Structures are given as structure tokens and as C-alpha cells.
């Protein structure tokens, strides 16, 4: 769902191959029969873009952590069971590393039934733990924060530890192309601090035009990442003072050239920003796990949340330009990155090839 899970899986595969191991990236939705995976993806995309209330309802019904029983994702996930076990046997895999909650349901189910004979180590890439990530059949969980790891241990009594996120090394060491972005911003809007607005790969967000227009009117340069949503990009490009971009391939260079990120999902873009030393302000988050994740990040002191337009402007005026508040926020965010999750997975498997 979206590009965040793909980005994490791709980075873990890159690290494995760099160390001489074999790594196969598999979309669990593609393993579902009867076109169910395609249907689920389209439904989720439509919900996030056009009917956020629908996803909010599903999140409360199926995913939200808390007391009481809720429907399980296992009945759906197990439809992909035979295809996954066949793939594991065919590739000779020594471990399966889910980075998506439906995949974690599948591997937990298969391990508990003895059908998956290699360890399943779940990399839980959300800040807010929801119950569809959790299945007691999995061998271990690797989490972004101590709080997430503690919740896993409390809810399903499976070993869980904190590694922090996995991002490409380029985000930690800005490249020379960052200067090109700085020059582009300066030519487009001289003297205005650039602020990135992220709408994810699908270009989803609430009142993006209004937010971009507000920032432009208040002396910022809104740089809106519209993903693959060309309709959104064309609409925002018509707003004076707004730089609307499509899919950006060189995010490690773009981020250091900006002053802050306005985020609505607490996903991989926010994590990449923290790695790049870019302060993050949560604003108008997507419903469900996006909203919970945005507030969880702020509660941990990694980011800030703005509930109103005034709060957004106050936060950006403090964080989007050099100063002590910005320095403290950046330094604290860097503490999130602790260990290489792939190293811990390999240790779990006695350093067997992936």
C-alpha cells in the first residue's frame, strides 16, 4: 500500500546483497489469488484519496489497538500461504522479513501451523502499533521505538527489540545535488524558506491546496510532493508561489535544501526527513494509523503537531530557519537511528544467507 513499504523492503534487500547474500522482495498482495490484492490496493487508495472516513471506520474496526476482540487479518492472509511457502522452498530462504502488516499476519499463521520452517522476523515500520501487525506465531519483532517494542511484548508476548528505522545511507550524508535544489528554490522564490509538503506516492492529503496557499501567503515557498498524482500537481501548480513536483527520485538531495517537512502520515517520508536533519511538523494527518502515528511521533519529541493554521505557522517560523530550536529538534530526531535491523536479523539466523 503506497511506496513506503516498498522503499523499506528495497533498502533491506540492498543491504543484504551488498553483503553478498541473496534477497528476494515479494509483494504479499501479489500472492493473493483471484485478484484480491489488486482490489485491496485500489480500495485503500480510493479511500485515502476520496473517502477518508471509510478508512477511519475500517481502522477502528479491524486495526486499532485496545481491549476487546476485533476481526483478524488471518483469514485473508492465509489465502497467500501456499504461494509463500512454495517461494521460500524454491529460493532456499533462511528467513522471511515482513515489512507490511498483512505479511506479518501470514507468516505468523504459517509459523504457528508449522508450515513455514524458517524464522519470521517482523520489521514493524509504523510508530503506532496496530493489532494487524501482531501475531504470536512470529519469531521476533524489530521496532522503531522502545514504546512500540514494549507494546508488542505486552500484547503477544513475542520477543521485540528496538532498532530504529531503515533508510538509505544517502539521507545521512547529503550529496552535491542538494545545492542544485537550493539554487532552484532560490530562483523560483528568492528569500523564501522552502517547506516541503508531502502527499505520499498517491498524492493524498486533506486541503493541500489551502495549506500550500497559506504558506505561500505567509512568506514560505511550499514545495508540494504530489507523488504520481498528476491531477493534484497540475491543480497546485496554478497557485501563485507554489512549487508542485511530481515523483521525486532524489529525495536525499531535495530534503537538505528545505527548511522543514509538513507531514500527514508518519510514514517513510517523515523518517527520511528525520535522517536528513529536516524538522517535521505533523498537520492534517490522514485518518487511522496516519493520525495515530503523527501524534505518537510528537509525543516522543521527534516532531511537532500543529492543530490549527496558526500553530503551523508558529512551528515553521521556529523550525524552518537556523536556530537553537531547530538544532535541538534535529539532534533529538537523530537518536531514533540506533541499529541496522538487517544485522540483527542475520544474527537471529546465525548469519545464514537471506
Can you give the CATH number for the domain in which 194 is found? 3.40.50.2000
Question: Which residues have C-beta within 8 Å of that of residue 254, sequence separation ≥ 6?
Answer: 178, 181, 196, 223, 248
Express each pLDDT in 194-210 by its tens digit. Answer: 999 988 776 777 789 99
Do 216 and 89 share a domain, yes or no?
no
CB 206: neighbour CB atoms within 10 A? Answer: 14
Lowest mean pLDDT among 155-169, 182-196, 211-225, 279-293: 279-293
Do 265 and 287 share a domain, yes or no?
yes
- Listed residue (59, 83, 116, 127) closest to 336, CA to CA: 127
pLDDT mean over 39-45:
75
pLDDT mean over 231-244:
93
Can you give the CATH number for the domain in which 105 is found? 3.40.50
3-state secondary structure of 135: coil
Do 139 and 11 share a domain, yes or no?
yes
Task: Evaluate if residue 351 carries a pLDDT over 50.
Answer: no
Q: What are phi and psi of 56, to 5 degrees?
A: -60, -40
Give the pLDDT confidence score for residue 71 in this predicted structure.
61
Do 243 and 264 share a domain, yes or no?
yes
Task: Evaluate if residue 68 carries a pLDDT over 70.
Answer: no
Do 248 and 293 share a domain, yes or no?
yes
Give the pLDDT confidence score for residue 77 in this predicted structure.
79
- Averaged confidence pLDDT in the chain: 89
Please state the domain count of the chain.
2
Whole-number Å distance between alpha carbons of 1 and 44: 8
Contact 158, 140 (CB under 8 A): yes
Contact 172, 154 (CB under 8 A): no
Do 226 and 241 share a domain, yes or no?
yes
Residue 237 lies in a domain: yes
Do 27 and 163 share a domain, yes or no?
yes
Give the pLDDT confidence score for residue 133 in this predicted structure.
92
Do 179 and 304 share a domain, yes or no?
yes
Do 181 and 266 share a domain, yes or no?
yes
Do 23 and 154 share a domain, yes or no?
yes
Confidence class for position 174, pLDDT limits 50, 70, 90? confident
CA dihedral 309, 310, 315, 321 (to 10 degrees): 90
pTM: 0.90
For cell 505520499, the residue is 200
Residue 343 lies in a domain: yes
pLDDT mean over 33-58:
73
Residue 354 lies in a domain: no
- Higher-confidence residue of 125 and 354: namely 125
Confidence class for position 354, pLDDT limits 50, 70, 90? very low
Half-sphere exposure of 254 (CA within 13 A, CB side): 19
Task: Evaluate if residue 212 carries a pLDDT over 90.
Answer: yes
Residue-number span of the structural domain to which 195 is assigned: 170-334
Whole-number Å distance between alpha carbons of 12 and 38: 24
Do 9 and 108 share a domain, yes or no?
yes
Give the pLDDT confidence score for residue 94 in this predicted structure.
93
Task: Evaluate if residue 123 carries a pLDDT over 50.
Answer: yes
Task: Evaluate if residue 341 carries a pLDDT over 70.
Answer: yes
Residue 353 lies in a domain: no
Total residues found in the chain within this entry: 354
Give the pLDDT confidence score for residue 314 in this predicted structure.
97
Do 184 and 75 share a domain, yes or no?
no
pLDDT mean over 228-240:
92
Amino acid at each position: 500500500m503506497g511506496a513506503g513499504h516498498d522503499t523499506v523492503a528495497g533498502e533491506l534487500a540492498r543491504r543484504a546483497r551488498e553483503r553478498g547474500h541473496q534477497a528476494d522482495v515479494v509483494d504479499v498482495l501479489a500472492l493473493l489469488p483471484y485478484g484480491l490484492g489488486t482490489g485491496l490496493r485500489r480500495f485503500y487508495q480510493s479511500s485515502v484519496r476520496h473517502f477518508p472516513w471509510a478508512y477511519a471506520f475500517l481502522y477502528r474496526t479491524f486495526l486499532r489497538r485496545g481491549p476487546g476482540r476485533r476481526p483478524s487479518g488471518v483469514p485473508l492472509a492465509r489465502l497467500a500461504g501456499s504461494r509463500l511457502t512454495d517461494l521460500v522452498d524454491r529460493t532456499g530462504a533462511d528467513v522471511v522479513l515482513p515489512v507490511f502488516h498483512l505479511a506479518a499476519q501470514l507468516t505468523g499463521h504459517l509459523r504457528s501451523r508449522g508450515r513455514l520452517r524458517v524464522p519470521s522476523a517482523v520489521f514493524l515500520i509504523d510508530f503506532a502499533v496496530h493489532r494487524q501487525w501482531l501475531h504470536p506465531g512470529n519469531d521476533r519483532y524489530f521496532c522503531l521505538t522502545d514504546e512500540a517494542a514494549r507494546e508488542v511484548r505486552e500484547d503477544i508476548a513475542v520477543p521485540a527489540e528496538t532498532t530504529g528505522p531503515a533508510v538509505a545511507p544517502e539521507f545521512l550524508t547529503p550529496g552535491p545535488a542538494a545545492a542544485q535544489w537550493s539554487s532552484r528554490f532560490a530562483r523560483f522564490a528568492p528569500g523564501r524558506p522552502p517547506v516541503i509538503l508531502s502527499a505520499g506516492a498517491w498524492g493524498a492529503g486533506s486541503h493541500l491546496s489551502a495549506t500550500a496557499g497559506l504558506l505561500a501567503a505567509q512568506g514560505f515557498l511550499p514545495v508540494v510532493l504530489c507523488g504520481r498524482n498528476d491531477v493534484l500537481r497540475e491543480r497546485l501548480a496554478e497557485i501563485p508561489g507554489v512549487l508542485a513536483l511530481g515523483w521525486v527520485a532524489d529525495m536525499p538531495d531535495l530534503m537538505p535544501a528545505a527548511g522543514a517537512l509538513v507531514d500527514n502520515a508518519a510514514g517513510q517520508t517523515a523518517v527520511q526527513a528525520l535522517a536528513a536533519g529536516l524538522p517535521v511538523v505533523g498537520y492534517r494527518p490522514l485518518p487511522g494509523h496516519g493520525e495515530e502515528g503523527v501524534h505518537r511521533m510528537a509525543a516522543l519529541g521527534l516532531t511537532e503537531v500543529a492543530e490549527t493554521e496558526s500553530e503551523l505557522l508558529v512551528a515553521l517560523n521556529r523550525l524552518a530557519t537556523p536556530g537553537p530550536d531547530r538544532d535541538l529538534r534535529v539532534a533529538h530526531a537523530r537518536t531514533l537511528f540506533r541499529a541496522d535491523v538487517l544485522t540483527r536479523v542475520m544474527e537471529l539466523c546465525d548469519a545464514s544467507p537471506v
